[in-house]
Amino acid sequence: MSKRGILAIISGFSGAGKGTIVGELVKKYGYAISISATTRSPREGEEEGVNYFFKSREAFEEMIDREEFIEYAQYVGNYYGTPKSYVMQQLDAGRDVLLEIEMQGALKVKEKFPEVTLIFITPPNVSELRRRLEGRGTETQEVIDQRIARAKEECAYMQKYDYIVVNDQLEACVEEMHALLQSLHCARNNQRDFIDDIIAGFRDI
């Protein structure tokens, strides 16, 4: 097992349950999640370094110039980004880190950091996706249809992900995710230091 933490990106359709799964993984197994930086103002109760790192537009753009983000995007006039330093600190300390990022962003991160593992969470089928979106009871039919239409576009991205995990029953899915994430410690890319040690160990024989 590598001593360094592993970095995994979690994506999936709206309604796939990825937020709940990530929450359970943090609570039950102590995974770290990244804290985003943003230029939007803190809402009541939000704390610096807990919910977000709050930045001025100027400071955020300086961070962009210094390539201090794993990824960033603009959304409704504000910047949101994943600062590299926080994630690297966690990984160096041996903590496994989960990033919840939408698909286009996820693929960009994978290009820059090929050692990242991409995990796609999906309901077992399309009718179950619709049932879950409708079951929330909080959105209009129009919003639900928009989400389904977006998922239809997004499903092509599944083929670029390293792992496709089906969220059929929440508890089973959390256990499956944990087993999958732990097995990544044995993946070649995460065992480079160990391989070097073994090769060095043979050198004097």
Q: Return the number of the residue (39 or 117) whose C-beta is nearest a copy of itself.
A: 117
Answer for the pair 167, 11: CB distance below 8 angstroms, yes or no: no
Given 26, 152, 169, 170, the residue binding a copy of itself (CB under 8 A) = 152
Query: Site residues for a copy of itself, window 69-128 (CB under 8 A)?
Result: 122, 125-127
Quote the CA–CA distance of 100 and 97 in Å, as a whole number. Answer: 10
Binding-residue pattern over the window 172 to 201 for a copy of itself, x denoting contact by CB under 8 A: ----x--xx-xx--xxx--x--xx-xxx-x
Q: Return the number of the residue (33 or 166) whose C-beta is nearest a copy of itself.
A: 166
Q: Return the number of the residue (138 or 159) whose C-beta is nearest a copy of itself.
A: 159
Q: Long-range CB contacts (< 8 A, 24+ apart) of 147-156? A: 147/13, 147/14, 147/15, 150/13, 150/14, 151/13, 151/14, 151/15, 151/126, 154/13, 154/103, 155/13
Given 9, 86, 161, 174, the residue binding a copy of itself (CB under 8 A) = 161
Quote the CA–CA distance of 112 and 101 in Å, as a whole number. Answer: 15
Contact between 140 and a copy of itself by CB under 8 A: the answer reads no
Contact between 155 and a copy of itself by CB under 8 A: the answer reads yes
Write a three-state SS string for 68-135: CEEEEEEECCEEEEEEHHHHHHHHHCCCCEEEECCHHHHHHHHHHCCCCEEEEEECCCHHHHHHHHHH
Q: Return the number of the residue (63 or 173) whose C-beta is nearest a copy of itself.
A: 173
Contact between 29 and a copy of itself by CB under 8 A: the answer reads no
Residues that bind a copy of itself (CB under 8 A): 1, 122, 125-127, 148-149, 151-152, 155-156, 158-159, 161-166, 176, 179-180, 182-183, 186-188, 191, 194-195, 197-199, 201-202, 205
